[in-house]
């Protein structure tokens, strides 16, 4: 800019060009873009490339030598196990998220009502399941679920009950993997909801109490509406993570008995890596995208519509 003023005639053309570039460089959005570029590149390499590559893989034949178009997809559609996995993944994710949210909400309320002094201790202890690496805690659960030597069955036997085939029966196995997922994931909800609870002003509850609301009406008309956005975002985030869960099923049941606890990630692994059909495995894992996209659009649209009311 300064140069352009000092030598107006000789370099008018180049100066104008340079001014344009200079201005662009000074724009905040440009600076922001440049600063974010390393991360954008990282995401491109770590996310976009694998995504594109798996799309490419999904169109190859088993030996990855020939382009077969959508043949892998049509083949999957004809397999009963595929639809079983779709069904199981949905049940697994939805049930687990609903219970995680419910338990997280209730526990958050209890912790919120503990005096501040003892609260940190409880918060820390309740976060433990979420902090332990899932593969490790799943091993512990595996022992707890063991048909012959497990603590659970021992206790049941003490009361004269029959031993339960925790991972051996279809329905019990589904119950077990969901239970462990809830155990691991509920603390995350608890901590998010606790933060949201703390941000609701006390005077709103006092106003509601004077307006005649009982405790249930206070939760329904004040707490829940005030936490709506946090609840929605946490649920979405957890839905994505739960849907793509791998470790719990892998360690506890290996997808069994007879594939009845497989979810997308474990079945894709079974077919692609263990079964040696990588294109078909890639194809299976790609099916998570449209389902999760639908959930994300649905939930985020609601948040955008409401905006920040506070």
Partner 1 sequence: MAEVTLNKVVKFYDNVEAVRGIDLGIKDQEFVVLVGPSGCGKSTTLRMIAGLEEISGGEILIAGDVVNDVPPKDRDIAMVFQNYALYPHMTVFENMSFGLRLKRFPKDEIKRRVDEAARILDITELLDRKPKALSGGQRQRVAMGRAIVRDPKVFLFDEPLSNLDAKLRVQMRTEIKKVHQKVRTTTVYVTHDQVEAMTLADRVVVMNGGRIEQVGEPNDLYHAPATRFVAGFIGSPAMNFIPCAIEKTAGALRLVLHGGLGFDVPADRTKRYEAFVGKPGLSLGLRPEHITDARSPLEPGQQAMEVDLTVTEPMGMETLVYFGINGTEICGRVRPDAGARNGGRMTLAAQLNHMHLIDESSGLVV
Site of interaction with partner 1 (CB under 8 A):
201, 203-204, 206-214, 217, 221-222, 225-226, 228, 309-310
We find the least distance from the C-beta atom of residue 306 to partner 1, in angstroms, to be: 8
We find the least distance from the C-beta atom of residue 199 to partner 1, in angstroms, to be: 11
User: What tokens does 217 get?
Assistant: 């009406």
For residues 19 and 217, which CB has a smaller minimum distance to partner 1 in the complex? 217
- 225/197 Cα distance (integer angstroms): 11
For residues 162 and 309, which CB has a smaller minimum distance to partner 1 in the complex? 309
We find the least distance from the C-beta atom of residue 216 to partner 1, in angstroms, to be: 11
We find the least distance from the C-beta atom of residue 102 to partner 1, in angstroms, to be: 21
Using CA atoms, how far residue 166 sits from 1, 90, 100, 155, 176, in Å, is: 75, 21, 21, 14, 6
We find the least distance from the C-beta atom of residue 117 to partner 1, in angstroms, to be: 13
For residues 221 and 237, which CB has a smaller minimum distance to partner 1 in the complex? 221
For residues 130 and 221, which CB has a smaller minimum distance to partner 1 in the complex? 221
For residues 105 and 188, which CB has a smaller minimum distance to partner 1 in the complex? 105
For residues 133 and 212, which CB has a smaller minimum distance to partner 1 in the complex? 212
We find the least distance from the C-beta atom of residue 272 to partner 1, in angstroms, to be: 47
For residues 177 and 231, which CB has a smaller minimum distance to partner 1 in the complex? 231
- 300/310 Cα distance (integer angstroms): 18
β partners of residue 67: 60
We find the least distance from the C-beta atom of residue 134 to partner 1, in angstroms, to be: 36
- 131/241 Cα distance (integer angstroms): 15
User: What tokens does 216 get?
Assistant: 């249930």
């Amino acid at each position: 800019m300064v140069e352009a003023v000092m030598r107006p005639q000789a370099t008018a053309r180049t100066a104008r060009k340079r001014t344009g570039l200079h201005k662009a460089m000074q724009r905040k959005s440009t600076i922001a873009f440049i600063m974010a570029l390393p991360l954008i590149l990282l995401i491109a390499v770590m996310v976009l490339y694998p995504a594109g590559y798996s799309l490419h893989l999904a169109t190859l034949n088993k030996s990855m030598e020939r382009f077969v178009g959508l043949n892998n997809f049509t083949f999957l559609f004809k397999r009963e196990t595929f639809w079983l996995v779709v069904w199981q993944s949905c049940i697994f994710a939805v049930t687990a998220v609903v219970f995680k949210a419910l338990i997280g909400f209730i526990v958050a309320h209890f912790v919120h009502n503990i005096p501040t002094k003892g609260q940190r201790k409880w918060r820390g202890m309740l976060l433990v399941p979420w902090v332990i690496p899932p593969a490790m805690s799943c091993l512990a659960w595996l022992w707890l679920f063991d048909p012959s030597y497990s603590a659970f069955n021992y206790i049941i036997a003490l009361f004269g009950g029959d031993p339960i085939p925790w991972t051996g029966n279809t329905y019990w196995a589904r119950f077990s993997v969901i239970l462990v997922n809830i155990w691991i994931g509920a603390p995350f909800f608890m901590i998010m909801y606790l933060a949201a609870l703390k941000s609701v002003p006390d005077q709103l509850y006092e106003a509601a109490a004077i307006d005649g609301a009982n405790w249930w009406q206070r939760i329904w008309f004040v707490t829940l509406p005030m936490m709506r956005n946090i609840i929605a975002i946490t649920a979405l985030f957890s839905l994505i993570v739960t849907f793509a869960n791998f470790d719990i099923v892998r360690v506890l049941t290996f997808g069994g008995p007879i594939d009845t606890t497989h979810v997308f990630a474990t079945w894709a692994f079974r077919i692609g890596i263990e079964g040696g059909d990588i294109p078909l495995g890639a194809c299976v894992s790609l099916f998570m995208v449209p389902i999760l996209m639908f959930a994300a659009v649905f939930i985020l649209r609601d948040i955008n519509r409401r905006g920040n009311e506070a």
